[in-house]
Amino acid sequence: MSAPELEIAPQKALRPPSSVMRLRRMGAMFPTRLSFLRTLMRDLSANNVQVERRVWRMDDAGFGHAVYSVSLGGYDYSLVAISTDLPPELRTDRVIATAWDSAYVLYDGIPSEAEIARIVASAPKQEAARFTERDLVLSRANKSVRLFQHVTDALKSGVQPDEAMVRDVGYLMRTTAVYGNGKFGIADRGHIAARPCLGGPFAAEMLTVWLIRGFTHDLAEHVGGAALDAKLKRHLGIGNSTGLGMAPFLVSHPRLLDSWMQVRETALARIAALPTLKSAQQAKILDLAARAGRHLNEWSVPDEIAAERIAQLQRDWPAVQEVLAVKLAMPEPISAILDAAEQWFEDTQELLIALLLEPFGDLIDGLTECMANPYGAELDPSMPIEDLKALIKRDWDWATALDFESKEETAQFWYVSEAKQEPRLGLRHEEDGAKLESPLDIARQVANLATALEGAQGITAELVLKRPDLRFAVRRVQTLAIAPYGEIRDNMIADRCLPIDMLRCKLSFFGAAKFDPKSDRWTRITLCQGAPLFDELASADDWWLPCFGE
């Protein structure tokens, strides 16, 4: 008897990488139900996870430590949270900081008193300390001083805090780092990669952030001496300040990026193939479109470029809703809507795509199991040179067409700072340091490879033996051949390269919303806003683009 055939969901053709993998479009992405936080919340709900606050040793001012534990997939995990008195002169979100309002470790298991004491002593030092394989994630956060003070003062006075302030700020604390994967001696990702619910990308980090968010609620209620209204608590997420340190990740992990984007694009192709929509699905999409409009009206930032993009979204959105109202009842409605969306700019298109994915969890949620990818780039030394040339012609025309003799195409260079071991971006024609350049000049390296291949014959091994400086570019070209969404198809060293686009792409996969750029190199965001509270996991799947009070 032959094995039963797997049932494969119908789908349309995927959008081409040449369109999807451009910085401008990647910088327009929104969180979706495929984002890591949403996936984690569904897993917590499915596992009926209960959060236990095992330790609470805080003084009246809110300084001390606490321990929260969860049982997930047969394993116990604990967040050890330490709150300290931070002098105003030491308060900064910059990477040069050496002190923070709070520090955290996600611990593998239930920590003993001795282990708690070790973490309480070490975690506030962050990079200056060292950790063990029982420590899975390391983080730190600073208060939103104005809102935290207002909330606690209001609670002490017997009233709830001002709703407008809660809505406008949206978090009591913001993290300035959430470290995983072996940094400073903590456990490597491989230690937990096979465990239920934590095998997905950044799942342990997202669990840490959600537990930190609950701790900030508890801390404010402890200091204020009263309970926050659940509606307000739900809107209080966790802020985050993210800069250049995150930007090169997508370039350095092409196989992983390809998996993330393939899942997202496959999900879109699946729903685009739906022949019709049920009336309940149509109503849900219209309801979500109205919610997105309210969310846009609550999203205000001082950055002029970002503010104009939000304003354009607000101007486009009534027309989007009109298109939805007309086309949802048509044959192949999602496909028709996507065709109509070509009239709008990238931000509107990507917001619409995120919305359209939302009602179809039964069709697309299983794809998230394909987001983890342990494989790296590999070099095939047996590939004929002619095949290598053909790959460059097929996939890299955008790179070989660039003029790397011009200052515009070579304006910037990436390097790693000696002081903090963090990625930085320099101006090549104005600053020293280009000799220490990191290999993020992918387009230039492939263009150089294409030139070197002119007239060459034989196999790849012969080429890289003669020209070891081309090895990186060869590996990159071969990797893109099997990972078509693994390459950002823009010049990373051109004057037009904006790191904020890379940050937004990655953060949208985390589940971030309300991007608040402070320059083209760093941004503030909000995570877990609208997410279920510790006692609300049964309703874990309806908080896309939350609006205040809903």
pLDDT recorded at residue 3: 45
Q: What confidence tier does 9 reach under pLDDT thresholds 50, 70, 90?
A: confident
**223 within 8 A of 115, measured Cβ to Cβ:** no
Q: What percent of the chain has pLDDT over 70?
A: 98
pLDDT digits (tens, 9 = 90+) for 77-111: 999 999 999 888 777 766 667 899 999 999 999 99
Q: Does the pLDDT at position 421 exceed 80?
A: no
pLDDT recorded at residue 1: 40
SS (H, E, C) 421-484: CCEEEEECCCCCCHHHCCCCCHHHHHHHHHHHCCCCCCEHHHHHHHCHHHHHHHHHHHHHHHCC
Q: Does the pLDDT at position 513 exceed 70?
A: yes
Strands (E), 276-421: 412-416
pLDDT recorded at residue 2: 47
Q: Does the pLDDT at position 22 exceed 50?
A: yes
pLDDT digits (tens, 9 = 90+) for 225-283: 999 999 999 999 999 988 888 889 999 999 999 999 999 999 999 999 999 999 999 99
**380 within 8 A of 460, measured Cβ to Cβ:** yes
Among the listed residues 286, 266, 264, the one whose alpha carbon sits nearest the alpha carbon of residue 333:
286
Q: Which residue do the tokens 């931070």 mark?
A: 86
Kindly compute the dihedral angle of the four CA atoms of residues 523, 253, 264, 170, in this order, to the nearest 10 degrees. Answer: -20
CA–CA separation, 244 and 240 (whole Å):
13
* Tokens linked to 275: 């022949």
3-state secondary structure of 81: strand
Average pLDDT over residues 431-436: 89
Average pLDDT over residues 338-355: 97
* Tokens linked to 36: 């890591």
